[in-house]
Structure 1
């Protein structure tokens, strides 16, 4: 069973906070099935940007699959420009930013 985007984002942010990371919704998308993009800010001028995997967006266990849209040394400004292009293509997307100095906020790239 797949979770609604709004519910998944809420649970993801709660998990980040439990793990000691600060996160916030920068842009709220479609509650039911909006695509979710996660900007992981490393607070050193670099970031990761994760987007939904092309093709199957969920694995066999129902977990979301991700691709890295931008990885360090990408700056948050460059990642924001990429996000703006995605919004012009799909206005229903969610944008979530998480501050994680040492990682990818628990997200892994799809195989």
Structure 2
């Protein structure tokens, strides 16, 4: 069973901050099942953006464990590029979450789908 978006985001923020990777909630979405976007500030003026992976990316094991998979949709881009992508998402589905985290090595501590 998959965790609610609210619980998953809370746990993610706690885990990242405990590792010394400052992380904050930028936008609160639907509590139960809002899509979650992770924005990684590389601390060099660029950002990565991760968004939910397609349901086709999930194996039976992922489904059984309730994993959340992501894929990197933008890499080493300006904050304006990230904001443009999120504005497009808002027009499509306004119930999404945005979490921002900082890491010079661009680590995100999320499960990535095999693209």
Match of 1:33 in 2: 33
Match of 2:80 in 1: 77
How many Å apart are 1:106 and its aligned residue? 1.3
Secondary structure of the corresponding residue to residue 40 of structure 2: strand
Residue 41 of structure 2 contacts residue 106 of structure 2 at CA under 8 Å; is this kept in 1?
A: no
How many Å apart are 1:48 and its aligned residue? 0.9
Alpha-carbon distance in 2 for matches of 1:17, 1:47? 18
Gaps of 5+ in 2: none
How many Å apart are 1:55 and its aligned residue? 1.8
Alpha-carbon distance in 2 for matches of 1:110, 1:63? 11
Alpha-carbon distance in 1 for matches of 2:48, 2:87? 16
The TM-score, its normalising length taken from structure 1, stands at 0.92
Residue 35 of structure 1 contacts residue 93 of structure 1 at CA under 8 Å; is this kept in 2?
A: yes
Greater Cα shift, 51-60 or 10-19:
51-60
Match of 1:65 in 2: 69
Q: CA RMSD in A?
A: 1.4
Secondary structure of the corresponding residue to residue 71 of structure 1: strand
Gaps of 5+ in 1: none
Match of 1:20 in 2: 20
Secondary structure of the corresponding residue to residue 50 of structure 2: strand
Residue 40 of structure 2 contacts residue 48 of structure 2 at CA under 8 Å; is this kept in 1?
A: yes
Match of 1:88 in 2: 91
Higher helix share: 2
